[in-house]
Amino acid sequence: MIVIDGLHKSYKIRSGKKHVLKGITCTARDGEIYGLLGPNGAGKTTTLRTIATLLKPDSGTVRVDGHDVVTEGRVVRDRIGFLTGEMKLAGQLSCRELLRYFGRLNHMSAATIAKRTEELAADFDMINYLDMPIAKLSSGMTQKVGLAVSIVHEPRNIIFDEPTSSLDVLAVKVISDFLRSAKRNGKCVVLSTHVLADAQRLCDRVGIIYDGELLCEGTVDDLLSTHKVPDIETLFFSLVNKQMEQV
């Protein structure tokens, strides 16, 4: 479970500071897929990077399975699998070699790495190119390898930032099936996506963030009922447009 409470984060800019997170509070529970939705620059990636211990909050707390991301960073990193859209795999190492490398980074035994490699190759439909160099793969294939690398250590919490970018429709189904399987196995999944139809189809609960503020949070059904809208896309644009009008 991931619990964010009063999260603030700012960056230094030439004219002073830019406040990018303004007291975000939300919870992603075990056995559910939580969708964090928002336009570019809303604060989604900053939130996810803070959960992943890559950024230190100005104030507020983030806990992963009860462990603080600032004071217990090493424990948190063992418990999360984090894939960002900026993760770029390249070079002559094969998919199998990359999985072995990242497995060793996570202190896994050779036997466990070999077992996980076969499991992930089957899960992500990578068997036919498992021993091919990354440099020879398509962008969609490379994206699936990145997903596999991020969860080779079987984390309890999965954080995916735009995991279906660059993927064709068949590969998207592979990833969607994996996320549903992770949910059934009791894992906590946090998903950031610009594809609002995917969010409605996959997520149990969503939070919509704009300009560093959480505009709403709840189950998909409850949010649609409360705001009297037919789908997440309509809700998203309705809330964001209201915020833009107030600026």
Could you tell me the pLDDT band of residue 85, with boundaries at 50, 70 and 90?
Answer: low
User: Which of the 8 DSSP states describes residue 27?
Assistant: E
- Distance from C-alpha of 81 to C-alpha of 18, rounded to nearest angstrom: 28
The whole-number pLDDT of residue 235 equals 93
DSSP string, 149-179: HHTTT--SEEEEESTTTT--HHHHHHHHHHH
- Distance from C-alpha of 124 to C-alpha of 133, rounded to nearest angstrom: 17
Burial of 133 (0-12, 13-18, 19+ CB in 10 A): middle
Q: How far is CA 122 from CA 2, 89, 126, 134, 216, in A?
A: 28, 20, 6, 18, 37
Q: Structural domains in the chain?
A: 2-246 (3.40.50.300)
Could you tell me the pLDDT band of residue 87, with boundaries at 50, 70 and 90?
Answer: low
Q: Which two tokens stand for residue 77?
A: 């990193």
What is the percentage of the chain residues whose pLDDT exceeds 90?
63
Beta bridge partners of 189: 33, 158
Q: What is the CA radius of gyration of the chain?
A: 18
CB of 174 within 8 A of CB of 122? no
The whole-number pLDDT of residue 92 equals 86
- Cβ atoms within 10 Å, residue 90: 10
Global pTM value: 0.89
| Residue 3 clears pLDDT 90, i.e. is over it | yes
- Tell me the pLDDT tens digit for each residue of 110-132: 999 999 999 999 988 889 999 99
